[in-house]
Structure 1
């Protein structure tokens, strides 16, 4: 078998499943008659186009959240989300190399890497004035994709010749490759094209993130990670650059960061561009909601799916932090009430244009649009009728959509209503089905993370606690659209992990954070596995099989 075929095998695994993968292969004849500008744009656009697939709810999100103490997805009602037990295995740290979500996530990332390589090879000879910047973006985006594979699978594939066999990198070698690629791209990048494209600030943030996790990536199975001062210095340096640029500001409204119109929010540094004119289609808003929550009066088919809830453990971290005050009253990141019926039982008629479901962590009896016979009920004045919801779509009309704290794999804990739910990203106003057309950008990096990374680096290198505390409280005090969370009076690493949970829940950060803070082998909800091997996922079996034509070339991660 020649090297070109081997390289393709390592980069792709064609499979049948819920996700349809299509790869348009371009050759020289397809660009005949195109200008260099068109060719350059046609090379860089596909590099970013894989990001939405990676961030599909059952791909990167599932791996980063459902494997942690933050999210759990039981076998709902004994009939839904069973999926051969893959979500229960993911939460229990029992995932195998044949898991379809592992394979899907891997495939999408490597398709992105393949597209980036095509751009890196072709753009140097392109005469369009933007080609130089596009080349830098392609290299930086490829480095970001490699950061994902290093973080999740402990491996990076390095290749500059599309016909060659990739070099397999792990540990320090992998980090050095990613770092040098980001450093090479940074001087060329613009700082005004974000957040949907990588900028100088985006690269600074990725470099800070790389150095912050360097102790993990160097010694994946260490009993205790050794955070080198040189790495922490780099984290502070890059975070200082972003903050000192004055190009970004913390959003006064926390949930505005996750609204449909968040593309212009000045806190976002790097994000998956999901605006409508780019055919945005993410599913982050509907994944956790009930199948009987209908957020859009214009569409009777747009509803939730009764997917993951937050774990009782994660919920208790909020309660314990603010007791005896309810976290909804103490911290604007926890909850935002939009429907008046929750505090005024008589507020049962709402104009369609003013109807918005609540945001944040949803608890207890849910109220909303009532659908009967395929239509929403209306009040006598023509407004939308709002009332308590029941599981009509599940043919359980007497069962209330009443979210409970308990959510586990027992029969009682895995019913449709179990688990407090998360409505963080806005349910798109143009979603006809609830399962697509999410138009909010999916956050990859934002300014709050920069402040909290800097705070963590300061703590880990032994700075005075006051400096790190200032960074943390700067973020807490910034959400002034409502009463901000009270300032903390002290900070340590345990409190900082808790703070990161409050700030970044449902943003695909939790697994990486828990590993770095030494908490991933802990016990929560249905998870008791303490195996350090589970800090990384298995390389998909299809990839291992494809690589077997070169004996010893690709070794499965230990423990799988």
Structure 2
């Protein structure tokens, strides 16, 4: 059961009493109606609700249901963290495209005409700087009150803050460091470079691993969750800092695999169904619930956005949703990786093809491209009831990803692993998918990049993967509608980072814009 999720309402209510958003001015302490210290002194158990709220902000938009938002935006549903991770990581890449033509989203899906006024850049940036000061505020409050399990809760809050910083590093490459040492400063904080942010997050994760338990409640950070994030930081260190850290990445991946206690789910689809909280593979989920924590920004965005009554039948029965948004389709850059879809045995080739065209001649035409049916709101085991909001959790980290990271590290020369073990892990993933196993000679970096697409697309990793492999910008790899052209064109290297939002530049004169924008 997703018991931790049910505490989100308590968390929203408690936090609403204490603090208001400080994203408009990161150097101003949040307004206080009832101090956190007073709240926790009255009710030490309130810390569980506050902690739940901070976890929930990665999947939900705001404190009062799907029509509310913690940050400013005309459409609250668009402001959710997960929705924007998908927009910026998957729709900017090769596998997925959106057809709505909305200003902002259209520029992401065509990797063209990016500028500092795109609302989706601002939503992700503002959401990160909602999480960062709020977690810091709670950490500081805990220093002045006595609550049970305080050390572990502080470590969890520091992990949540590090996760928000990770996306700033990956997407924008700069920002300001807000922590216990400068929280509430009235002076504009100095700009932190990508390397400075990297070093700070690395130090935070190394510290919190010691304070986190080996196992924790569902949806909460444990040692493996923090190590997985640290491994991802190290995997991309060459991009982030210019210094590769594949040895360090592999060290942490080995610990996740060998000590985490996770196993591959027996069936691939178990990880993406309404009862995926029972999967033994998911290391860290972003929790969804169709009643308790409704959101237009969690997997509702994927399930509803990928279905349409125009071409698809029996949607409530097959996909568990009563609302279809006619929005997202995959391109041949994803489904083409499975070979002939009429004959493939690969169970990961989950696409709706009836009424749709293989070629995406027009990315705004619903019939062009195949909707992905990877995520659904129906239970894998037993019966389920269709709802308008999704109850399928989002697997931000899972074991199959760790296996592929292991293989990539070995192929890139990291010590602490072996080619034989890398091949075993990759073939375990492929066997689970009913795909043919590969020989040692076939295990190359190009194969790993393609296998990551087959296994992990639509899970918020693809843009980062393409950048790490040198395939995102330039012309060495073209995909449908890259650069706004049907067959794809080269895009400038400056697109490896998103522009810093204009609102952030105006709020802090110490921030500078990324090159090319």
| TM-score under structure 2 length normalisation | 0.80
The 1:246–1:142 alpha-carbon spacing in structure 2 relative to 1, beyond 3 Å, is closer
Structure 1 residue 192: Cα displacement: 2.2
Q: Does 1:405 align with 2:412?
A: no
Task: Quote how far apart the aligned CAs of 1:24 are.
Answer: 9.3
1:318: Cα distance to partner?
Answer: 2.1
Q: Deviations over 1:83-137 (max 9, x none)?
A: 2364245423332111112212222222111221112211233322222111000
Q: Which residue of 1 aligns with 2:338?
A: 318
Correspondence for 2:345? 330
* C-alpha distance after superposition, 1:477-511 (max 9, x if no partner): 234xxxx2111112111000000000001111100
- Residues 46 and 115, structure 1, Cα contact 8 Å, conserved in 2: no
Asked if 1:155 is matched to 2:174, the reply is yes
Match for residue 40 of structure 1? 47
Aligned partners of 1:533 and 1:558 also within 8 Å: yes
The match for 1:486 is: 436
Mapped to 2, the partners of 1:454 and 1:193 lie a distance apart of: 24
The question of 1:270 aligning with 2:284 is answered: yes
Asked if the contact 1:69/1:314 (under 8 Å) is kept, the reply is: yes
Distance 2:220 2:491 in 1: 39
Aligned position for 2:459? 507
In the alignment, the residues of structure 1 paired with residue 498 and residue 208 of structure 2 have an alpha-carbon distance, to the nearest angstrom, of 29
What is residue 412 of structure 2 aligned with on the other side? 460
State the distance in 2 between where 1:68 and 1:408 align: 17
* 3-state SS of 2:284 partner: strand
Which entry has the higher C-alpha Rg, 1 or 2? Answer: 1
1:190 aligns with 2:213: yes
Q: What corresponds to 1:20 in structure 2?
A: none
Q: Distance in 2 between matches of 1:131 and 1:176?
A: 25
Identify which of 464, 469, 474 aligns with 2:428: 474
Shift of 1:30: 9.0
CA distance in structure 2 between the partners assigned to 1:25 and 1:547 by the alignment: 23
| Deviation of the 1:197 alpha carbon | 1.1
Which of residues 508, 521, 526 is equivalent to 2:481?
A: 526
Distance in 2 separating the partners of 1:111 and 1:6: 6
Instruction: Name the structure 2 match of 1:361.
Output: 351
Contact 1:267 1:446 in 2 (8 A): yes
- SS of the residue 1:51 aligns to: coil
Q: Distance in 1 between matches of 2:249 and 2:124?
A: 28
TM-aligned CA distance change 1:25 to 1:513, over 3 Å: farther
Change (3 A) 1:143 1:89: closer
CA distance in 1, matches of 2:514, 2:343: 42
TM-fit CA distance, 1:474: 2.2
After TM superposition, give the deviation of residue 449 of structure 1 in Å: 0.8
CA distance in 2, matches of 1:269, 1:318: 26
Q: Please name the residue that 2:323 is paired with.
A: 303
Change (3 A) 1:29 1:82: closer
Shift of 1:26: 5.5
- Is this contact kept in 2: 1:539–1:557, CA < 8 A? yes
Contact 1:11 1:107 (C-alpha < 8 Å) held by counterparts: no
User: Secondary structure of 2:110's match?
Assistant: helix
User: Can you list the C-alpha shifts for 1:173-192, whole angstroms capped at 9, x where unaligned?
Assistant: 21110011011111111232
Q: Match for residue 211 of structure 1?
A: 234
Q: Equivalents in 1 of 2:481, 2:224: separation in Å?
A: 39
Question: Given that residues 320 and 386 in structure 2 are in contact (C-alpha distance below 8 angstroms), is that contact kept between their aligned partners in structure 1?
Answer: no
Tell me what 2:7 maps to. Answer: none
Instruction: State the partner residue of 1:543.
Output: 504
CA distance in 2, matches of 1:538, 1:187: 35
Asked if 1:290 corresponds to 2:308, the answer is yes
**Structure 2, unpaired ranges of 5+:** 1-19, 61-78, 379-383, 483-488
The match for 2:254 is: 240
Whole-angstrom distance in 2 between the partners of 1:119 and 1:141 = 12
Q: What is the match of residue 103 of structure 1?
A: 122
Name the counterpart of 1:341.
none
Q: Is the CA contact 1:43–1:118 (under 8 Å) kept in the aligned structure 2?
A: no
Once the two structures are superposed, residues 355-395 of structure 1 have per-residue CA deviations (whole angstroms, 9 ceiling, x without a partner) of xxxxx2111x2xxxxxxxxxxxxxxxxxxxxxxxxxxxxxx
Q: How far has the Cα of 1:328 moved from its partner?
A: 6.0
2:4 maps to none
Q: CA deviation at 1:462?
A: 6.2
Cα distance change of structure 1 residues 185 and 156 upon mapping to structure 2, 3 Å threshold: farther
Q: Distance in 2 between matches of 1:183 and 1:296?
A: 45
State the SS of the aligned residue for 2:256.
helix
The whole-number CA distance in structure 1 between the counterparts of 2:461 and 2:495 is 17
Deviations 1:142-168, CA, capped at 9 Å, x for gaps: 011100111011124212232124443
- How far the C-alpha of 1:533 sits from its partner, in A, is 0.4
Cα distance in structure 2, aligned partners of 1:333 and 1:238: 27
- Measured in 2, the distance between the counterparts of 1:26 and 1:475 equals 52
Evaluate the alpha carbon distance shift between residue 297 and residue 28 of structure 1 in structure 2; reply closer, same or farther with a 3 A threshold.
Answer: same
The 1:238–1:300 alpha-carbon spacing in structure 2 relative to 1, beyond 3 Å, is: closer
Q: 1:39 to 1:502 in 2, by over 3 A?
A: same
Distance, in Å, in 2 between the alignment partners of 1:93 and 1:361 is 27
Match of 1:419 among 338, 350, 369: 369
Question: Residue in 2 aligned with 1:249?
Answer: 263
Deviation at 1:518, TM superposition (A): 0.7
Task: Give the superposed CA RMSD.
Answer: 2.9
Q: Give the aligned length.
A: 451
TM norm structure 1: 0.74
The SS at the match of 1:421 is: coil
2:202 is aligned, of 175, 179, 200, to 179
Higher strand proportion: 1
